[in-house]
Structure 1
Amino acid sequence: MVYWLVSLQLHNKRKDAVWELLQERTSASMLCTNFKLDIPGLRVGTLDSLMALSDELSKSSTMIEAVLAKVKRQVNESGGAKAMAALTVEGVSTDLYVQRFHWDDAKFPTRRLLKDMVDKITELVSRIDDDLKVKVSELNNLKSQMSQVTRKAQGSLAVRDVATVVKPHHIIDTEHLATVFVVVSKFALRDWEDSYTKMANFVVPRSSTTVAEDNDYALVTVVLFKRVIDDFKAAARTKGYQVREYNPPAEGAELSLAQIEQLKHDMEQKKTDVEQWCKTAYSEVFSCYMHMLVVQLFVESILRYGLPPNFQAAVVRPQDKAEGRLRAELEATFGSGKTHYWRDDGSSLGAGLVGDAELHPYVSLTVNMDLAAGYA
């Protein structure tokens, strides 16, 4: 689903007449559904300031879209499809918010200069972006800690810390002898038994024992003279065996079961907190996004149609697979016979006049609903 914000020049007609014409030519023929968009009396300023603001508006909208994408992605990672479906903007679904958009004068007073208003919106979204980075970093830190603990305690023997399964009686460490720990595929255990004493000189016969097993691997020991350990490791690598280093855990370094459970609880709580914060942030950022687009629509309309403001704004929702026919109808109805001036073929007279607004004989901006809740 897609929405367009459009402004249609009045051409000495009343706003109601232009709205009725839009409805007659598009909605009645099932090309789209239209919703009136009331733009408040924003402070225009000078033409030069509007020209400068036009480029800034496009960049600011792109920045807000990027932040909105980050927030949405985090909600999806934290809560999945259920959390995505629950996202709202100011208490209503994103669709309803777009359709019924009403300018929030308490948050963005229309008495402000447009440049100040754009700066305020950008600052607000940037602050949310910074907060999001901190919260995601904290969550990822807890996830990393939990992953390390799980990997050490429950992972495959190929990656698991051998100190979690090795007991003191498995270890021989004298002036000349040492125990080496090797991870062997269970399919290769017979080959290991037949070959380990031949992989280096001075390997103690019948010294191999199995310390632990999982579905795929076995952790085995072998006792040999310390001076041939490097030769043994090299031979083991050529046969696909994995020699593992044993490092006794420092006293107090191992987490107790209670500490592991607490870490897991902290991670889940942080995940829930981030999800709830992101739901609030989504509402805030999408609201800023719509206000920024409305400012952009207003500025581009003034630059296109001139002063005083003489246009009817609308939110247009094209029907599926009807966008091309809808564009053609809008151009035929509201193009004043000059649609060729606005075609984006590199030679149009309209190119470069109005920022990054889409080139049509009326002003049109697309609301990026891919960033909205429920849209992939």
Structure 2
Amino acid sequence: MSSSSSEVIADYLILSLPSSTNAREWLEQSLNNGKQPLYNLKIPDFQSGTLDSLVQVSEELTKIDQQLGSSVTKVIEILNNVTETSGQKSTTRIVQSRSIFDYIQNFQWNTSKYRLDKPINQLSQIISNEAITLDNDVRSSFQNYQTAKSNFLAADRKKNGDLSIKSLHEIVKPENFVLDSEHLTTILVAVPNNLVSDFNKTYETLTQFVIPRSAEIIAKDQEYTLFAVTLFKKFQQEFVTNAREHRWHPRTDFTYNEEVLNNLRKEFDITKATELKLKNDLIRLAKTAYSDIVASWLHIKVIRTYVEAVLRYGLPPQFDNYLIKFEGSNLKNLSKAKKELVQKFGYLGGDGFSNNSNLHEYASLVDTDYEPFVLYDLEIV
């Protein structure tokens, strides 16, 4: 699971060893000087099938494991993104109504949902399909929320921006305009306050047929003064072009129309309500998805551990499974613990792993990520 954009709050090593190693006492007392919390991982007996089928399903499980790990990270990123903006960010991780740590450390296979009489490949597909559907639902919901948020921010700028950009529906009145005239029109111009003197001196000469002394102050804020100017429609575009050259801001986006103004009055409230509803829907969905995808992911980890243990240690399944927890300041001990595990149980992988110096010229051919026993990471972000 990638944690590049999320902080790891805990990490578990999932370890499976042949029962003959009697490893529990050493793991409790000697690994990292006995400082690492150790838990039994209960793995049920699955329908193993043939070794050939297990090799095939092993490759598929690796992909599913990585995919679900990425899904969990994405859901957390989305939750943080949405809750950060409203100051609700929480690091609480709830899975099946319990803390994620309680869920992992006391894991029980969900036999009512995932019946153990089904072949492993069927179980893994059922579990992964459910999780991926949820992942897609969250991503789609997030996209809808982002669109609603953009619409609301645009409406908010119109409502609360300066006079060069804000919606004017609450500012203008019918008497500010020449309405229903065949030849005359009224243009609104937002003039920077430091250029008002220049505007008053020059607006009448900006083009032909500007009505003298027609400029009327409609509103003023810290940045701009909004004027209404009346002129002949024929010269409207020329006036607009010349006004921009003076660094004024003609509000060509605005035309006085009662129906449009009524819609603008509603726009802010509608976009705000939509954004809030979609945000709350998304938070609920993402929390549910997190719970279910993490549960699915751990079930896949358990199947993968079982399959790998059978492939390495053989049938009938006689192996012990453990969870080793690292969190807080102990996170830095994870790589140290891995080295201690290899030193202690490296013999399970043959001479090459118990003593790498024996490899000589073949050393570069050994997969450095390959452990001499079954070992997987489970990062919690």
TM-score of the two chains, using structure 1 as the length reference:
0.82
Specify the alignment match of 1:237 in structure 2. 244
Q: Encode CA deviations 1:203-224: one digit per residue, 9 max, x unaligned.
A: 3332222222333223222222
CA 1:258–1:162 in structure 2 vs 1: closer, same or farther (change >3 Å)?
Answer: closer
1:56 aligns with 2:86: no
Contact 1:163–1:247 (CA<8 Å) still a contact in 2?
no
Contact 2:32–2:333 (CA<8 Å) still a contact in 1?
no
Specify the alignment match of 2:4 in structure 1. none
State the SS of the aligned residue for 1:201: coil
Paired letter, 1:367: L
Q: CA deviation at 1:181?
A: 1.4
Specify the alignment match of 2:80 in structure 1. 76
Contact 2:27–2:34 (CA<8 Å) still a contact in 1?
no
Contact 1:152–1:164 (CA<8 Å) still a contact in 2?
no
CA 1:298–1:350 in structure 2 vs 1: closer, same or farther (change >3 Å)?
Answer: farther
Q: Distance in 2 between matches of 1:146 and 1:101?
A: 43
Specify the alignment match of 1:276 in structure 2. 284
Q: Encode CA deviations 1:157-207: one digit per residue, 9 max, x unaligned.
A: 232233443222121253333221122222332332233234333333322
Paired letter, 2:132: S
Gapped runs of 5+ residues in structure 1? 352-357, 371-376
Q: CA deviation at 1:279?
A: 2.1
Q: Distance in 1 between matches of 2:213 and 2:132?
A: 67
CA 1:50–1:159 in structure 2 vs 1: closer, same or farther (change >3 Å)?
Answer: farther
1:307 aligns with 2:315: yes
1:18 aligns with 2:15: no
CA 1:217–1:43 in structure 2 vs 1: closer, same or farther (change >3 Å)?
Answer: farther
- RMSD, aligned CA: 3.1
Q: CA deviation at 1:361?
A: 1.7
Specify the alignment match of 1:98 in structure 2. 104
CA 1:310–1:350 in structure 2 vs 1: closer, same or farther (change >3 Å)?
Answer: farther
State the SS of the aligned residue for 1:247: coil
Specify the alignment match of 1:347 in structure 2. 364
Q: Distance in 1 between matches of 2:271 and 2:169?
A: 21
TM-score of the two chains, using structure 2 as the length reference:
0.81
Q: Encode CA deviations 1:240-261: one digit per residue, 9 max, x unaligned.
A: 2222222334638725978965
How many residues align structurally?
A: 358
1:4 aligns with 2:13: yes
Q: Encode CA deviations 1:282-319: one digit per residue, 9 max, x unaligned.
A: 21111011111111222222233333334322111232
2:126 to 116, 120, 124: 120
Q: CA deviation at 1:335?
A: 0.3
Q: CA deviation at 1:116?
A: 0.4
Q: CA deviation at 1:22?
A: 2.0
1:176 aligns with 2:183: yes
CA 1:200–1:9 in structure 2 vs 1: closer, same or farther (change >3 Å)?
Answer: farther
Specify the alignment match of 1:186 in structure 2. 193
Paired letter, 2:23: V
Paired letter, 1:4: L
Tell me which stretches of 4 or more aligned residues in structure 1 moved more than 6 Å: 256-260
CA 1:83–1:324 in structure 2 vs 1: closer, same or farther (change >3 Å)?
Answer: closer
Specify the alignment match of 1:218 in structure 2. 225
Specify the alignment match of 1:373 in structure 2. none
Where do residues 253-332 of structure 1 align in structure 2 (5 Å cutoff)? 254-255=262-263, 264-265=272-273, 267-318=275-326, 319-332=330-343
State the SS of the aligned residue for 2:15: strand
Gapped runs of 5+ residues in structure 2? 1-9
1:364 aligns with 2:375: yes
Q: Encode CA deviations 1:312-340: one digit per residue, 9 max, x unaligned.
A: 22111232321232121111001015323
Q: Distance in 2 between matches of 1:197 and 1:215?
A: 25
Contact 1:176–1:225 (CA<8 Å) still a contact in 2?
yes
Among all aligned residue pairs of Structure 1 and Structure 2, give the percentage whose two residues are the same amino acid: 26
